[in-house]
Amino acid sequence: MDKNTAIGFLLIALILIGFSWFNRPTPEQIAQRQRYNDSIAALNQVAQSAQEREVLISETDSTAEVNAFGQFSPFSTGEETLTTIENDYLKLSFSNKGGFISYAELKQYKTYDQQPLVLFDGEEDMKLNYVLRTNDARIINTSELYFVPSVKQLQDAQEVTMTLDWGEGKTMSFVYTIPNNDYMISYKVIAHNLGGAILPGNQDALEMQWSGLIRQHEKGKSFENRYSGINYKLVDDVEKLNENKSDDEIVKTQVKWIAYKDQFFSTVLIADEMFSAVSLSHIINEDKNSDILKDCHSEMLVSFDPNGGQATNFRIYLGPNKFKILNDYDKNVESDDEKLLIQRLVPLGSSIFRWVNRWLVIPLFNFFGKFFSNYGLIIFLMTLVIKLILFPLTYKSYLSSAKMRVLRPQIEEINKRIPAEKALERQQATMDLYKRAGASPMGGCLPMLLQFPILIAMFNFFPSSIELRQESFLWADDLSSYDAIVSWTTHIPLISNTFGNHISLFCLLMTIVNVIYTKVNMDAQGSTQQMPGMKLTMYLMPFMFLFMFNNYAAALSYYYLVSMLVTIIQTYLFRLAVDDEKLLKQLNENKKKPVKKSKFMERLEKMQKEQLELQRQAAKAKKK
């Protein structure tokens, strides 16, 4: 190496040493760097620890999941997806979680505020769960499992299948068949090769849990609540829980179907081979600001074959409580024992009242419905026909009242002649007068009693007739609900709970006409001096009806309004047709004729005479 090269390397070394000297870090910078390095090391340590914990938790969860679900663990996790199917009447969504219907909408109906009418939406609203007790002592809820969905298009229906597949031919499937034009869908549970391998080989029943919320769909929440709750069919009859309170029932016999119903719509689960060990309950929601009416829950057993020899078959009705639709499901069934009696979901009353509705009122309603679309006019024509049918009874009742009226002066003469202390003698003389004249105090009661089943039948028919739902007439925008002309939001104790926060115009008019009818009726019967308190009571009755009917269907108040107007007109026509003087003359002529006494009347008179004789003897003994 020559001299110049050596000097060059030396100068470079001096420059590097000098640069390093002048750019060395200060003690503060060294401390800051150390803190930075320590922070990075700490963060790396935290990240590594978190990752280790994550792996540990994942391993622990996986172990716990396997322990909890056993052979069902492949179906215990997943992401919920919906399979939506529509027909002419329904829009249904099936959830892969639980494999049941998650959403049900009735496409041809709207709520009172014109929103889509959704029977239920989501697991909170409706859930069907099967409790599976496995052969390794685990309890599995199908509502927690994730099924694999598939859809098949049939000739006149669509089929949705939800499947759990273990491989090697071991499967469990829920199969739904949705017809193109029906509210009733079929549903079956099919298992293959699960007995012994996954479920106990001797298992022959499935434990079911069905829960659902009944939500408000109509304007009058409190009124709708009266018609909402659980109905169920026994072998030959239909029963229900008490709609007016939270109620529960353990059913000791087999049950054909269970319905979660509100005023006009129902979700009905029907078993082909009957439910057993059924426990039912519904709870009223006390929150006045909520749209939930009742919370319903059912537990039951149903037959089941874990090896696929036979499917467990159901039907599910998701639709309106319309008598014609529901009754059609029984038309093709010959045996009464096989009938669903699902039309009992329409509350038409019991025994004779339901008979009157089914064979008189509904056919009459449907007949006029073929020719007229205005339901106010249909109700008016129905009222005229019913009043025409009842005309002979109404006339007989009026004639009996007229006889009592024209005989009243003779009754007052008897009362003056026989003192009040001799009440039995006075009563005997009065009854003797009635008998000889051909009059009877009960003559007007019997015709009215015969009209009573029709009055009660109409009371049941109008609030439950879905045909009137959201049908307007005059000022009423919905004949199935109240027709408020005045409303308020302030809660008034006693008034708000019984009368409501509104005044219904049809109900008010009915009350006014009822007062007029009471006066006309009392005038037709004559004075009420013998019973002075009766007059006040008769005038209080219409105002009691005002409180009773203010929340009821406007159609019902309108019917009673028209019916009473017709009755008032009939009463005035009867007055023109019946001459009191001629009637009195006829009754006096009747008194001259010999009266043939029945054996019953003879015994009754004998008893009265014996009682009078005993009273006379007692009076003589008292004087002595």
Mean pLDDT over each residue of the chain, to the nearest integer:
82
pLDDT for position 437: 75
- Residue 32, domain member (yes or no): no
Name residues whose C-beta falls within 8 Å of residue 179's C-beta, 6 or more positions apart in sequence: 87, 156, 157, 185
- Residue 401, domain member (yes or no): yes
- Residue 362, domain member (yes or no): yes
pLDDT above 90: residue 519: no
pLDDT for position 293: 94
544 lies in which domain range? Answer: 356-591
Give Cα 171 distance to the centre of its chain.
38
Count of domains for the chain? 3
| CA–CA separation, 108 and 470 (whole Å) | 13
180 & 224 share domain = yes
- Residue 489, domain member (yes or no): yes
390 & 279 share domain = no
**577 φ/ψ sector (left φ>0, alpha ψ -120 to 50, else beta):** alpha
pLDDT for position 277: 93
233 & 127 share domain = yes
The winner for highest mean pLDDT among 433-442, 470-479, 613-622 is: 470-479
What's the rounded mean pLDDT across residues 269-293? 92
Map residue 320 onto helix, strand or coil. Answer: strand
What are the pLDDT digits (tens) for 425-443? 777 777 777 777 777 766 6
| CA–CA separation, 513 and 527 (whole Å) | 21
What's the rounded mean pLDDT across residues 314-336? 87
260 & 309 share domain = yes
- Residue 339, domain member (yes or no): no
Strand extents, DSSP E, 236-377:
238-240, 247-251, 255-261, 265-284, 292-303, 312-320
Among residues 302, 322, 342, which one ends one of the domains?
A: 322
pLDDT for position 521: 73
101-110: strand order across its sheet: 82-86, 90-95, 101-110, 116-121
| CA–CA separation, 99 and 123 (whole Å) | 11
pLDDT above 80: residue 75: yes
DSSP letters for 167-205: ETTEEEEEEEEEETT-SEEEEEEEEES-BTTTB-TT--E
**Contact (CB, 8 A) for 69 and 140:** yes
562 & 602 share domain = no
- Residue 50, domain member (yes or no): no
| CA–CA separation, 263 and 112 (whole Å) | 13
pLDDT for position 490: 78
442 & 528 share domain = yes
543 & 608 share domain = no
Among residues 266, 301, 322, which one ends one of the domains?
A: 322
Residue 207's Cβ-count burial label (10 Å; 0-12, 13-18, 19+) is middle
The more confidently predicted of residues 11 and 58 is 11
302 & 417 share domain = no
185 & 294 share domain = yes
**Contact (CB, 8 A) for 425 and 612:** yes
- Residue 185, domain member (yes or no): yes
Q: What residues does 250 pair with on adjacent strands?
A: 279
What's the rounded mean pLDDT across residues 577-583? 79
CATH code of 249's domain: 2.70.98.90
304 & 375 share domain = no
Question: The pTM is what?
Answer: 0.78
Among 26-30, 106-110, 292-296, the minimum mean pLDDT is found in 26-30
**Contact (CB, 8 A) for 345 and 261:** yes
In the chain the first and final C-alpha atoms are separated, in Å, by 175
**Contact (CB, 8 A) for 385 and 449:** no
What are the pLDDT digits (tens) for 125-181? 999 999 999 888 889 999 999 999 999 999 999 999 999 999 888 999 999 999 999
Among residues 322, 342, 371, which one ends one of the domains?
A: 322
| CA–CA separation, 297 and 279 (whole Å) | 8
- Residue 452, domain member (yes or no): yes
| CA–CA separation, 407 and 527 (whole Å) | 12
DSSP letters for 413-471: HHHHHS-TT-HHHHHHHHHHHHHHHT--TTTTHHHHHHHHHHHHHHHHHHHH-GGGTT-
575 & 612 share domain = no
365 & 425 share domain = yes
